[in-house]
Amino acid sequence: MFRRTHRTTTEHRQLVDDTTEDEVIESKIKECQRENGRCMVSTSRRLKIFYGDEKVNRILRRLSRRRERGNSYQQQFTW
């Protein structure tokens, strides 16, 4: 009924799931930034409800550090 799984495969699966969640959150934030010039409060609030405060805050901090370093894809677009 209940199968035993190897501990390393379970940990690997959890790491892969976390990585894909991080990529999904990051892509949604980047999409909002491209459309609006910044990450809207409603978008971050919705993501925090769905994925949790800690993950979303960590990714927002990571993206803000990238922007401070000067990565081109996150700079404000001036038309």
Q: Flag whether pLDDT at 70 surpasses 70.
A: yes
Q: Flag whether pLDDT at 58 surpasses 90.
A: yes
CA–CA gap between residue 31 and residue 37 (Å, rounded): 10
Q: At what angle do helices 53-69 and 7-36 cross, to 10 degrees?
A: 60
Mean pLDDT of 2-30: 70
Per the structure, the count of domains in the chain is: 1
8 occurs within a structural domain = no
Handedness of CA 63, 69, 72, 77 (dihedral sign): positive
* Structural domain of 30: 20-68
Question: Which residues, in sequence order, are CB contacts of 51 under 8 Å at separation 6+?
Answer: 21, 25
Q: Flag whether pLDDT at 79 surpasses 50.
A: no
52 occurs within a structural domain = yes
14 occurs within a structural domain = no
What pLDDT does residue 1 have? 45
CA–CA gap between residue 5 and residue 16 (Å, rounded): 16
Tell me the whole-structure pTM to 2 decimals: 0.65
What pLDDT does residue 54 have? 92
Q: What is the mean pLDDT of the chain?
A: 78
61 occurs within a structural domain = yes
